[in-house]
Amino acid sequence: MSQRIPMPMPLGWFQVAYSHELAAAASMPLRYFDTDLVLFRTESGEAKVLDAYCPHMGAHLGYGIRGQAGGGSEVRGDSIVCPFHGWA
């Protein structure tokens, strides 16, 4: 009998937002499949989804700097910027 190994995330494509909900150079936090994610649109208009936490210091990339206008993290070019150190 074969056993199936559980996958960490479902396979395939899943809609997480409508295109009009995310402006160029904007970001928003998401939670899907029991995982924190960040959705952002690059300055060139491409939408991307990443793990929400910076691998360096664990900053949540979807919330940006507390009290900053707009609330989301800065998008610079094709990268999202870590709110702790400003690395992209």
Q: Could you give the percent of the chain with pLDDT greater than 70?
A: 85
- Overall number of domains in the chain: 1
Question: Is residue 9 assigned to a domain?
Answer: no
Band the pLDDT of 23: cuts 50, 70, 90: very high
Structural domain boundaries enclosing 60: 24-80
Q: The CATH number of the domain where 30 resides is what?
A: 2.102.10.10
What pairs with residue 28 in β-bridges? 39
In a domain, 8, yes or no: no
In a domain, 6, yes or no: no
Residue 41 lies in a domain: yes
Report if residue 3 sits inside a domain. Answer: no
pLDDT score recorded for residue 83: 85
C-alpha to C-alpha distance for 44 and 48, rounded to whole angstroms = 12
Q: Considering the chain, what is the average pLDDT of its residues?
A: 85
Provide the 10 A C-beta neighbour count for residue 74.
Answer: 20
Q: Is there a domain that residue 5 lies in?
A: no
pTM value surpassing 0.75? yes
pLDDT tens sequence across 44-80: 999 999 999 998 888 899 887 655 555 678 899 999 9
Residue 10 maps to a domain: no
